[in-house]
A = this chain, B = another copy of it.
Amino acid sequence: MALGKDYATQECSIARALEVIGERWTLLVIRDALYGVRRYNDFLTHLGIPRAVLAARLQMLTAEGILEKRRYQESPPRDEYVITERGIALWPTVRSLGRWGREHFSDTQLRRFEHVDCGTELGAYGECPTCGGVVPVEDVVMVPGTGLDPNPTDPVSRAFLKSKRLLEPIETVPV
């Protein structure tokens, strides 16, 4: 264990968390899982991640209880990786990191996240300023922004061109 693991001397739950999700690509896999990506091939094409790394991350995240491997069809046997409660609990972290990245390093707004009940954009860590509380992840709508490539090559990005709720599985539409 080296990169992203083994901060052994740290008496700190942040270090403990980083041992689990601090490796390269890991948080992007979790982000995609929150967005509704479930299948190996969808992660692969959407992230542009090396296959070996993706296989390692999926296995590790499954072992840590953040994803759950689930058979969704027999013949041919196919599994999907569904995010668990423990993974969903990372949404405030993912949301606040995305907000920070947009506010400090991005010129255009690529996506917006709204409360499905009222359409208000979420605050810095996933709360609704209008309704005044934390919005359950399944009540968050992801709305595409103006800066997105209107004609992406991979099916996942194409699915993300429509508004959709978080966690809701994506529909991979063939070309």
B-binding residues in A (CB < 8 A)? 3-4, 7, 9-18, 20, 22, 24, 27-28, 31, 47-48, 65, 86, 89-90, 92-94, 96-106, 110-111, 124-127, 134, 147-149, 157
Per the bound structure, the CA–CA distance linking A45 and B32 in Å amounts to 37
Residues of B within 8 A of A111 (CB): 12
Q: Are B28 and A18 in contact (CB under 8 A)?
A: yes
Residues of B within 8 A of A18 (CB): 27-28, 97, 101
Residues of B within 8 A of A13 (CB): 98-99, 101-102, 105-106, 110
Residues of B within 8 A of A134 (CB): 124
Known: A89-B103, A100-B93. A147 touches B11 (CB 8 A): yes
Residues of B within 8 A of A65 (CB): 104
Ordered by A's residue number, 7 sampled pairs between the chains whose C-beta atoms are within 8 Å are A13-B99, A13-B106, A13-B110, A14-B27, A14-B98, A14-B101, A127-B127
Residues of B within 8 A of A90 (CB): 100
Q: Are A14 and B105 in contact (CB under 8 A)?
A: no
Residues of B within 8 A of A14 (CB): 27-28, 31, 94, 97-98, 101
Q: Are A105 and B16 in contact (CB under 8 A)?
A: yes
Residues of B within 8 A of A24 (CB): 3-4, 22
Q: Are B96 and A11 in contact (CB under 8 A)?
A: no
Per the bound structure, the CA–CA distance linking A93 and B93 in Å amounts to 5
Shortest A32–chain B CB gap in Å is 10
